[in-house]
A and B are shown apart, each in its own frame.
Chain A
């Protein structure tokens, strides 16, 4: 059913009884042209663009839990495109462009809100690095500007710009077109649109094995709901990428770490932008419900437990209380962790693997929510044509052998 002013008004007057399920929940078929493993935002976006742009609709998305129950539904939803290197600028800008029209394209309100993202610098070295980033971005046509403490305060009135604090704000990089989006709506909107174009979305279906023929090529997957034949598999499982790769007999340059977030009790609007401090691992924005959404840095050790240490969350809260003194008397309502797939150069891995027919889209680590539409769009190209989209080509697995890293780790070392 299409969402429109007319349908909303009609349902509003008739008790909202006419809404139908947003996507079909079929049993898996014995075979598909393409099987996508992982029903997070990236997997669902891939399926949508496969059907919408490449006419490949005989596709299944297999999700071991529920849609968006992984990092998609656990992230702090920061969207920005001001990464340092040209390859990164291209891929994140591609995604950023898709965000601006995504709600119309999907006929689903993903609540993309370009309210501005402010990255804070606390010393001259960070200031130099962020200014370099701003200049590089402007050369590449990516919007951004440097702001001094007074300008930062004008953008974010609750920011503590007192020069006497432990980590004083000496300035910041501001991307006014960055912002946030509603994470669940992104998963649901892509699921609904993909399902409407013929994609089968199968929840509670865990992939437990990868079938290969004598030449080593993929011929199907084993799942908790039976075997499914296919010649093309797209693995989009974020923190579990190494686990699924092991099923197919290869390794990845990925380690999985817990990344924590918290939300406060709801407040009246106090924070009109997103603010991030990479040095002290504190990120904050305000949701439309009024909660302050707070992100931390990763825990120290690899884990799949979806829990992190309290000392990591409390260090982040100490930083938040110093930067935003009004937060000091707030109650935190929830604290959780997602498992993020971190690569050595903090850039994603998109494309071919040693297993013919099996492709990965992973390694988005602490910052892949912003890339959801772009990542899905580019990976659909890979799955439909067998070859990488030019924007995705620099992110091939082979770069760890060739040495052509896209090193955002030393460039910015930014979470989110």
Chain B
């Protein structure tokens, strides 16, 4: 089980308090202008890297808020958690003061 630091509660909390919500930083295309290819990419295609992965979680059984998390998918080690709206920390770097061991 992962131990995830909530950047709002500023506490390390067990994974069971959170809900996973998929890849972070996806941008919904402009419905008026998007091509089929852009829609396909937004709806279905995901980065799925073996390595640093930026992803959303929701602290469902805590503050209820969405947060972002940078996790190494090869080791499951959490590199950083950060608030929605903050930029993705550089891979491998502990970002935002919410680093997690």
A binds B: yes
Query: In the assembled complex, which residues on chain B have CB atoms less than 8 Å from the CB atom of A266?
Result: none
Could you tell me the distance in whole angstroms from the C-beta of A364 to the nearest C-beta in chain B?
Answer: 15
Closest to A254 in B: B48
- Among B5-13, B15-23, B80-88, the stretch that binds chain A is B15-23
Known: A301-B20, A309-B1. A251 touches B74 (CB 8 A): no
Identify which of residues 254-270 in chain A touch chain B, using a CB-to-CB cut-off of 8 Å: 254-256
Q: Is residue B40 contacting chain A, with contact meaning CB distance below 8 A?
A: yes
Query: In the assembled complex, which residues on chain B have CB atoms less than 8 Å from the CB atom of A251?
Result: 41, 45-47
Known: A300-B20, A301-B55. A307 touches B76 (CB 8 A): yes
Q: Contacting A255 at CB < 8 Å: which of B43, B46, B71, B76?
A: B46
Identify which of residues 234-262 in chain A touch chain B, using a CB-to-CB cut-off of 8 Å: 240, 242-243, 246, 251-256
Q: Contacting A242 at CB < 8 Å: which of B1, B15, B48?
A: B48
Q: Is residue B27 contacting chain A, with contact meaning CB distance below 8 A?
A: no
Could you tell me the distance in whole angstroms from the C-beta of A399 to the nearest C-beta in chain B?
Answer: 10
Contact B46 A254 (CB under 8 A): yes
Closest to A303 in B: B73
Number of interface residues of B (CB under 8 A): 26
Q: Is residue A344 contacting chain B, with contact meaning CB distance below 8 A?
A: yes
Known: A301-B20, A309-B15. A400 touches B53 (CB 8 A): no
Query: In the assembled complex, which residues on chain A have CB atoms less than 8 Å from the CB atom of B75?
Result: 305
Using CB atoms and an 8 Å cutoff, list the residues of chain B in contact with chain A.
1-2, 15-16, 19-20, 22, 36-37, 40-41, 43-50, 53, 55, 71, 73-76
Subset of 13 A-B contacts with CB under 8 Å: A243-B49, A251-B45, A252-B45, A253-B40, A255-B48, A256-B73, A302-B53, A303-B76, A309-B1, A309-B15, A344-B44, A400-B40, A401-B37
